[in-house]
Amino acid sequence: LTARIPLPQNKDELYTVSKTINKLLDRVENALERERQFTSDASHELRTPLTVLKGTLEVLIRKPRNTEEYHDKINFCIAEIDRLNHLVDQLLLLARFENQKRSLSVEKLYLNGAFLDVISRFSSTIENKNIQLRTNFIKDYYIYTDNYLFSIVINNLISNAIKYSSQDATVTIDIQRMNGKIQCSIIDYGIGIAVEDVEKVFNPFFRSDANDHPQIKGTGLGLSIVKKLCDLLDIDIQISSKVNNGTSVILSLKEGELK
Query: E-strand spans in the chain?
Result: 106-110, 132-137, 142-146, 170-178, 181-188, 236-242, 246-254
Query: Least CB distance from residue 8 to ligand ADP, whole Å?
Result: 45
Alpha-carbon distance of 247 to 172, in angstroms, equals 11
At 173, the amino acid letter reads I
Q: Which stretch binds ligand ADP (CB under 6 A): 58-66, 105-113, 114-122, 184-192?
A: 184-192
Dihedral, CA of residue 114, residue 188, residue 253 and residue 136, to nearest 10: 60
220 binds ligand ADP (CB under 6 A): yes
Residues 14 to 73: which contact ligand ADP by CB under 6 A? none
Q: Which residue of 161, 175, 230, 251 would you call a contact of ligand ADP, by CB under 6 A?
A: 161
**DSSP letter assigned to residue 208:** S
Site track 96-125 with ligand ADP (rule: CB under 6 A), x = hit:
------------------------------
Alpha-carbon distance of 259 to 243, in angstroms, equals 39
160 binds ligand ADP (CB under 6 A): yes
248 binds ligand ADP (CB under 6 A): no
Q: Which residue of 221, 230, 232, 237 would you call a contact of ligand ADP, by CB under 6 A?
A: 221
227 binds ligand ADP (CB under 6 A): no
Q: What is the 3-state secondary structure (H, E, C) of 163-184?
A: HCCCCCCEEEEEEEEECCEEEE
Q: Which stretch binds ligand ADP (CB under 6 A): 17-25, 103-111, 118-126, 159-167?
A: 159-167
* Residue 2 or 211 with smaller CB distance to ligand ADP: 211
169 binds ligand ADP (CB under 6 A): no
Q: What are phi and psi of 88, to 5 degrees?
A: -65, -40
For 210-237, letters b (16+ CB in 10 Å) and e give: eeeeeeeebbbbbbbbbbbbbebbebeb
Residues 187 to 216: which contact ligand ADP by CB under 6 A? 188, 190-193, 201, 206-209
Give the footprint of ligand ADP on this chain (CB under 6 A).
156, 160-161, 164, 188, 190-193, 201, 206-209, 218-224, 247
